[in-house]
Structure 1
Amino acid sequence: MVDAVVSIFLDKLIDTLMKEGQNIVEFRDQFEEMKKQLKLMRGFLKDADRMRRTNHSLQAVTDDLIELIYDAEDILAYCEARYIGQKDFTGNCLFCFSPTDISFLSRTGKQLRQMNKKIKEIKENMTSYLSPALVIHQRTEDSDSNSKRWSSPIFDPSQIVGLQNETNEIKGWLFEAGDDLKAIGIVGMGGLGKTTTTKKVFCDSEVENKFEKRMWISVSQNFTEKEIMRNMLKNLGDVSIGDDEGELLKKIYHYLLGKSYLLVLDDVWSLRSGWWTRLNEGLPKGNGSRVIVTTRSELIAKQMGVADKRLHRPKCLTVEESWSLFSRIVFAGICESDLDPKLNEVGIEIVGKCGGLPLAIKAVGGMMFCKPASFIEWRRIADNFRDELEQNSNSVMASLQLSYDELPSHLKSCFLCFSIYPEDCIILKDQLIHWWIAEGFVTAKIGRSLIESGEAIFMGLMNRCLIEAVDKSFTGKVHTCKMHDMVRELVIKLGGEEAFCKSNNNCFRRLSLTSGIDEKHLKSNPKLRALVSTTNARRVNKVRSAVAENFSKSENLRVLDLSESIFETHLKDLLSKIGSLQHLRYINLRNTHPMNEVPYAVKNLTNLQIIDLSFCHNIKALPPYIESLENLVVLDTSCCGSLKYIPKGIGKLSSLEVLKGFRPARESYTDGCRFAELKSLTRLRKLELQICRGDEITTSELDILLELKNLQDLTISCYASYGDDLMRKLGLLSLPLQLHELCLKFFPGELTPAWLNPVLLPHLQYLSISHGNFSHLDSRFWGDKDHFWRLQGLMLESLPDLEEEWWRLQRSMPLLEILNVSWCPRLETFPVDDVGFNGGVWRKKEYGR
């Protein structure tokens, strides 16, 4: 990790020095010297990273460097906070030399001189452990840092190869005659594809039609009987938080009684305390129901009632199947005729080292997908893979370690963030990206915003098969993700070795906020940078007030994520002291309880970049000081049902890239933000509007959205709206030409607005229309012979009155690849289920018919 820690800090330092900011004017010489030494060292840090795993002396030296860099980063942040604190209302800096300032200057200057002395010593010590060739060889950048392929979701990492015979066999067991509850087992080592095989069966259309109820439960190593039952009920549409095991089991029984069901228990490690016996006895029998168990232990499968004749043992992929999977990933989007013929030879050698294990092939293939397709690069990777296998005979772990070693510096820190999440945790993508931004792991590139850069990093990890998608929107955007248990095993090991979560003196740098957190880890902990809610499967987290009261004592905290948590007392009181956390950049209060007011202390958090207040249903108003948080990049107040409007002055937040849940104030609310203020938010990329009344927007404001030249994604929701005046004004709106995605929810009227047409929205790629009373699409919607839609994806949902012909849509949207239609019973001519057309795949869900 030393390469990543130094690179991230050095980029921050260089940026600060280039801006010639007054915040470090007193220490410029020392910071310039630090930059010089670190730049000299940077060239061989990647090699030191690889070697430190087997050289304990080198590991000790680099660990000391990591600690120094973290301390230097804190000093840089203190200088920035001090500078902001000395600004007057005009933005000018007021230099005052009080005894406190003189003491700060003297103490900090001395610290920096000592740091530079230690950095020089570490550089000399480090080079003594490396060969001269490595020291002379300066790696200026990661080999794939300039590659454009790595951030593009060109291939699907979940591609399946060689499982058709296996899935047919398992489906045969599912469909065989007999009403008794039969168990099927899939047994094998980690990385062999047990879960992938089961998923393919579970999602098969014939299996969907066979069973009335289907439940997928990830059991994992650390589970409770209650968790399993609650997850079963969640699959059945019942989110039960209370009740004991007996009551939960009764609910499950009544939901399943008289129905055929399929229960998948994935990744079973233990039958301790007899949980399966009790659950099995409480399940209704008959109706041809089935249970599928995946486990690494054949004994466990048999103890769960799996007969030998229904035991499937996945085999390793053949050479041909291995190469097929590897090439699908590595050569995605590349014309093979343009490749060096020698690549196949090296590629086959690399695939051979994976031992036919799908996870190993995906990990290496995903990593190489992000590398230049050159013989020299592939040869280097093949040699490193051979060396890794000498240290670790497990080809899956060796391939994962190699994939980590080859990550660009900025991705390593982001990857290690996963080490604090519990097993099988479903993780929100936005939570990760906001965390990465707040800790400085993400920097805005030319032509790319902070959020877009974070998205690119996320896709970089996805494309390397280090994380996998769980939930996606119809556009293909990932909402949530998770990590394979063997990848998690690696990331936990690395997090410990690289001192990512814990410093050398056992102070925590990053902590998971759970019900069982030890409050002593928060007390007087100056090292803590991130406290993140990691509630498994987004279950509500009950946090003791004694824990919450220690938040304000972690003076270097950058990330405070309390989402999905219940506290014993009001958060307003618990967070009253967080104003002292001058380095805090991200605060997440999503769905916290009891939360009815944003604490006044937030006003002092001048470095805040992200505030997430979504699903805080009891908040009635935001404080007016929000306008003073000029560094805000994300403000999320979506699904705050009691919030009447956003306060006046939001137009001053010129750095905003994402604004969700914006509701303009009615004319009678003089302290509220009017629609016109949006025109100042020129960096806005994503906007979610909530408009319910006609007086929330005036006639003179109908073209305001045209001012937002960077807006890509727009949602307009009219939930609980009424009045003809609103419908008339919405029909006169002007939308930006460059819009890429548009979502209309609860839109009033029987006809779509006239502006929803390919002439006025020529660049629109994805369109979603849901929950409305539209009976027809306006005549202008269909375009003309010179203008047609460029849409790639269309979703129509919960439009019970909509009547249109499939041929008209087909003619006006020739590029359509994704069609998602549900709860639209009158669209009778639309294609149903896997009907191919121009390379696209249409799926119509038969709900409400």
Structure 2
Amino acid sequence: MSPTTSRTAWTTSRTVSTTSPVGQEDAIMKHGQWLTESEGGVRVLAIVGFGGLGKTTMALALQRRFGEKFDSRAWVQASQKLNLPSLLRGILKLVMPQQDPEGKGGRGTSDGHADGIEGSNEKQLKEKLKEQLKQKNYFLFIDDVWSVSSWQNIWQSLPINQKGSIVVTTRFKSVANACCRQQEHIYMLKPLPHVESTKLFFERIHDPNQENFKETKDEIIRKYGGLPLALVAVAGLLARRDLTEESHWRTVKESLNSELDKNLSPEGVTQILNLCYNDLPADQKNCLLYLSIFPKGCSINRKRLVRRWISEGFIAEKDGKTVEEVAEDSFNELISRNIVRPVEHSTNRKVKTCQVHDMILEYIVSKSSEENFITLVGGHWLTPTPSNKVRRLSLHNSNPEDVKEKIENMNLSHVRSLTVFENLHHLPSYSFKSVILQVLDLEGRKNINTKQLDKIFKMFQLKYLSLRSTYIKKLPSEIGKLQYLETLDIRDTNLTELPSSVGRLQKMVHLLGGNKSTHLALRFTEEIAKMTALQTLLGIEISRGSTPDLGSMHNLTKLKKLSIYSLRDLHTNNNKYDELLPTIEN
């Protein structure tokens, strides 16, 4: 049987940029063989340890090494505030067969089932999941279970007495005991020994003279109690300094509490992260705090992130570099400091997607809430309702009524950024009241209706608008009034043509269209050719009938990236074909 999975499942399985977990090779082989070779019933392995010890890294290594032996596989987050329906939907989206829904313009993975899954209640989701996993040899990775009751709710939702393997990560031994009948299937992660800690540290810092100032370096490594997250964070901090100067090593050593090497507590980790945060320039602090918008475990697309930074006004031209180049530098700085970790790389070896470790993200969320930088509603984090005006609002998966109640108690008069994750069953209409929004990201929201679209295109301050992976077929003609719009992302939709008013969008830099799954493309017109600030134009169709003058493409003198999905009715003896080649070459 061919394994049933989606691209998302294996994108997330590559999240650990450190190759294999340090010092865990024997354990991975032992437990991986048991998960794949044992017969009878569901097998559960619990990995237990302090936050930052590498539980997720080890579980993902198991999935990479042994996942191909299973028919279906998925990775989902449980976390402190369990949302069972959301967790079940997450599993279903990854284990249901690929399907492209007729007339919906789905993306060829789980989106074909999105409407049915989103409209199902908890009981129906359990029935669907049991039906999907029935008689299948499945692998589930359930990350970060916080309580025995959460585990019991998850366990009761899964098929019993069937084939399957489950890997659970948790910080609590009591949860591991509830998961596993036998202690031998509970793996207690321990701090790394000094030798392994040293190996990990110097893998990350690339120090050409490891023997220089050896005593100081050994003290720094011992101070972190063998916690991989702490070692990697400090390595990233030091990597930005001149490693030939002993004063830099001493400064880092003396900046940390002497008690850290005796008892590395959550407060100790916070101290380390504070040191890393305070070392950042002010503009990069904003870029870092902005990551709190994204849900825990989310793979963040680099281009999506840097374009949003620019639209938020965090980036300015500097040292002769454009805002795009400065934004890329800021992203690379966070990568080099080990604050965010690469997930996927493009063919040009640039980072395509990244992720934030959950303990670092927890710190960022706390800091962001403290400074009223981002306001989160729903999802994994328990954050207080802000007493001040909300500036940037991010809606994570939650009960729509809960969202409505929380938002009604907020001052939204100054909201300039709104991001909606997951599929809220009823996207609240009050989300569209703000006319000063500059960033609106509704990627993947299937239930956007015409009335909501009309409201969106009356937000005349918008600089960034993403309607990617929605079911929209047409945009209102009022789009031409969005004079400040810099990025319009309408990929993976049913849109094939833009209103003629788009020619007035003189600040448009990135126009992203086309649907690779359905082979729909965005018709190139003379109006698009009037967007003379365009640097990126994706997913267009060029045809004899709809493109009267290809020579107008010459106007796009700033264009750096052009993606043509379709060439219709153009032949080598056709005048249009003759016009196209020199236009692209120029």
Distance (whole Å) between structure 2 residues aligned to residue 576 and residue 440 of structure 1? 21
* 694 and 201 in structure 1: CA distance in 2 versus 1, 3 angstrom threshold: same
Among 393, 418, 425, the residue aligned to 1:531:
418
What secondary structure is seen at the aligned counterpart in 2 of 1:487?
Answer: helix
Aligned partner of 1:718 in structure 2 is none
User: Which of the residues 127, 138, 143 maps onto 1:261?
Assistant: 138
Match of 1:385 among 256, 264, 272: 256
User: What are the residue-to-residue correspondences of 1:562-573 with 2, within 5 Å?
Assistant: 562-565=442-445, 566-573=447-454
**Counterpart pick for 1:220 among 79, 83, 93:** 79
TM-score by length of 2: 0.81
Residues 419, 440 of structure 2: 8 Å contact kept: yes
In the other structure, the counterpart of 2:175 is: 300
Q: In the TM superposition, what are the counterparts of 1:121-520 in structure 2 within 5 Å? A: 156-157=17-18, 160-175=21-36, 177-204=38-65, 207-238=66-97, 239=110, 240=113, 241=117, 242-272=119-149, 274-280=152-158, 282-286=159-163, 289-331=164-206, 336=208, 339=209, 342-373=212-243, 374-386=245-257, 394-445=267-318, 449-473=322-346, 476-501=349-374, 506-514=388-396, 515=400, 516=403, 518-520=406-408
Contact 2:487 2:511 in 1 (8 A): yes
What do the CA deviations read for 1:701-747 (whole angstroms, capped 9, x no partner)? 3122221xxxxxxxxxxxxxxxxxxxxxxxxxxxxxxxxxxxxxxxx
- Hey, what does 1:577 align to over in structure 2? 458
Deviates more, 1:629-638 or 1:455-464: 455-464
Post-superposition shift, 1:172?
A: 4.2
State the one-letter code of the partner of 1:272. Answer: S
How much has 1:184 moved relative to structure 2?
A: 1.5
Deviation at 1:328, TM superposition (A): 0.8
- Asked whether 1:588 is paired with 2:442, we answer no
Give, in angstroms, the shift of residue 477 of structure 1. 4.2
CA distance in 2, matches of 1:495, 1:220: 19
1:589 offset after TM fit, Å? Answer: 2.1
Q: Does 1:551 align with 2:434?
A: yes
Indicate conservation of the 8 Å contact 1:220/1:424, yes or no.
no
Distance 2:226 2:264 in 1: 16
Say whether residues 1:632 and 2:508 are aligned partners.
yes
Following the alignment from structure 1 to structure 2, what is the Cα–Cα distance between the partners of residues 455 and 211?
A: 39
Q: Verify the 8 A CA contact 1:157 1:463 in the aligned structure 2.
A: no
Deviations 1:417-444 (CA, angstroms, capped at 9, x unpaired):
1223333334333332221010122234
**In the superposition, relative to structure 1, how do residues 569 and 649 fare at CA in structure 2: closer, same or farther (>3 Å)?**
closer
Deviation for aligned residue 1:357: 0.3
Other structure's SS at 1:442 match: coil
Measure, in 2, the Cα distance between the counterparts of 1:545 and 1:397. Answer: 36
Contact 1:522 1:550 in 2 (8 A): no
Please give the alpha-carbon distance, in whole angstroms, between the structure 2 residues aligned to 1:483 and 1:620: 36
Q: Does 1:650 align with 2:528?
A: yes
- Does the aligned pair in 1 maintain the 2:389–2:412 contact within 8 Å? no
**Shift of residue 506, structure 1, vs aligned partner:** 0.6
Q: Partner of 2:156: helix, strand, or coil? A: helix
The reply to whether residue 560 of structure 1 matches residue 440 of structure 2 is yes
Aligned residue in 2 for 1:846: none
Distance 2:248 2:231 in 1: 18
Separation (CA, whole Å) in 2 of partners of 1:685 and 1:388: 53
8 Å CA contact 2:44–2:185 kept in 1: the answer is yes
Q: What is the DSSP-based 3-state SS (H/G/I as helix, E as strand, rest coil) of the residue aligned with 1:385? A: coil
Match of 2:394, as an amino acid? Answer: S
Task: Name the stretch that deviates more: 304-313 or 382-391.
Answer: 382-391
Please, which runs of 5 or more residues in structure 1 have no aligned partner? 1-154, 708-849
TM superposition shift of 1:389: 5.8
- Do 2:510 and 2:536's aligned partners in 1 also have CA atoms closer than 8 Å? yes
CA distance in 2, matches of 1:212, 1:452: 44
Aligned match of 2:382: none
| Structure with the larger RCO, 1 or 2 (CA within 8 Å, 6+ apart) | 2
Q: Is the 8 A contact 1:541 1:564 kept in 2?
A: no
| Alpha-carbon shift at residue 569 of structure 1 (Å) | 4.3
Q: 1:700 to 1:262 in 2, by over 3 A?
A: closer
Could you state the TM-score of these two structures normalised by the residue count of structure 1? 0.57
- Letter paired with 1:252: L
Which residues in structure 2 correspond to 1:651-690 (within 5 Å)? Answer: 651-664=529-542, 666-669=543-546, 672=547, 674-690=549-565
Residue identity matched to 2:365: I
Deviations, residues 754-784 of structure 1 (Å, cap 9, x unaligned): xxxxxxxxxxxxxxxxxxxxxxxxxxxxxxx
- What displacement does 1:448 show? 5.1
User: Matches of 1:315 and 1:372 in 2, distance apart?
Assistant: 32
Structure 1 residues 529-566: Cα deviation after superposition (integer angstroms, max 9, x where no partner): 21122x1xxx33445453144122xx3x3212232222
Aligned partner of residue 485 in structure 2, secondary structure = coil
Bigger mean CA deviation after superposition, 565-574 or 361-370: 565-574
CA distance in 2, matches of 1:498, 1:200: 37
Match of 2:101 in 1: none
Q: Distance in 1 between matches of 2:251 and 2:216?
A: 10
Aligned pair partner of 1:611 in 488, 491, 508: 488
- C-alpha contact (below 8 Å) 2:17/2:343 kept by paired residues: no
Does the 8 A contact of 1:433 with 1:455 survive in 2?
yes
- Say which SS state the counterpart of residue 218 (structure 1) adopts: strand
1:157/1:469 CA distance change after superposition, 3 Å: same
Cα gap change, 1:656/1:178 in structure 2, threshold over 3 Å: closer, same or farther?
same
CA offsets 1:576-612 (integer angstroms, 9 cap, x no match):
5323x3xx3212222335x333334332332222111
